[in-house]
A and B are shown apart, each in its own frame.
Chain A
Amino acid sequence: MLFSLRELVQWLGFATFELFLHLGAFLVFSVLVALRADMLTPGISWWLVFVPLFAADGLSTYFTAIVSIRLYQEGEKRLSVLRLLWVLTVLSLKLVCEVLLCQKLAEQEQARDLWYGLIVSPLFILLQLLMIRACRVN
């Protein structure tokens, strides 16, 4: 809409397949959230609800590792290291945010000191990084 797929891939640094994977994981996650919130499945814990997002992060890391190894073998050493570093940074920031949110939801009483500003802080860092990367890609 605002960005073409090619621009998104360049900007975010993820392959189209990885974007597809994360989108699918988010769809499953949203279904589980709705089921959990509506108490249709009261036995399901919040950690289980977040499993699709964790799985997508794991698969994305695996995919990136393979692509980086292949790039390294083909002599594109700088590109492979840069790609690996970027994707790992983005995925780890995303993972930290997910884990903190999950902890907040799962342990409402114990995690009272865990305020939402702290949970979202990895996303604020990610936003700054994405802005810097956009300037470089442009």
Chain B
Amino acid sequence: MSLAQRVLLTWIFTLIFLIMLVLRLDEKIHWNWFLIFLPVWAFDTILLLMLVVKMAGRCKPGYDPRNGAQNMKKRVWYLVAMSLKLAFCLTLCAKLEYFSDLWVSFVCIPLWALLIGAMVDLGYSVFSFRRD
């Protein structure tokens, strides 16, 4: 997929999610929070499928294993990041819909783990580039 196609995919799902979120917050609609997050679930499913297909590509005959370990590490990190994002969205929806007594700190644990991981990943890019 070209950059414009990937951006379009992200853009459509973000736009639909924002519209649904605003309508729910302004109490124009009273849908279940899990339904409001439907664009997020759909987008995550597409991303997970793309990731799994790429990882399964390693099993093909004739696969060039050069730089394979590095790529595999990266994809495992992406898989973990996706799981953390899904865990955060699921616990957030559960809190908003069913468990209003649930602590926000508890809901935010996957988000914090994801952000710390992303910062380490990004920080490695920033500071290793500067060392070069």
Contacts and interface: CB of A to CB of B under 8 A. Distances in A.
A40 B47 CA distance: 36
Interface residues of B, number: 38
A38 B7 contact: no
Nearest to B81: A1
Interface in A17-53: 17, 19-20, 23-24, 26-27, 30-31, 33-35, 37-38, 40
B11 A5 contact: no
Given A19-B122, A120-B22, A134-B8, 12 more contacts: A1-B78, A1-B81, A20-B123, A20-B126, A31-B108, A34-B108, A116-B21, A117-B26, A127-B14, A127-B18, A134-B7, A135-B4
Interface in B1-32: 2-4, 6-11, 14-15, 18, 21-22, 25-26
A135 B47 CA distance: 21
Interface stretch (B34-42, B57-65, B110-118): B110-118
A64 to B, nearest CB: 16
Interface in B88-132: 103-105, 107-108, 111-112, 115-116, 118-119, 122-123, 125-126, 129
Contact of A124 (B18, B25, B125): B18
8 contacts: A3-B3, A5-B125, A11-B3, A16-B126, A16-B129, A24-B119, A131-B7, A138-B2
Given A3-B6, A34-B108, A131-B7, A115 B119 contact: no
Interface residues of A, number: 35
A116 B24 CA distance: 9
A93 interface: no
A43 B105 CA distance: 17
Closest 5 CB pairs of A and B: A134-B7, A138-B4, A37-B104, A116-B25, A34-B105
Interface of B: 2-4, 6-11, 14-15, 18, 21-22, 25-26, 47, 50-51, 78, 81-82, 103-105, 107-108, 111-112, 115-116, 118-119, 122-123, 125-126, 129
A17 B116 contact: no
Given A19-B122, A124-B18, A130 B7 contact: yes
B122 A5 contact: yes
A58 to B, nearest CB: 19
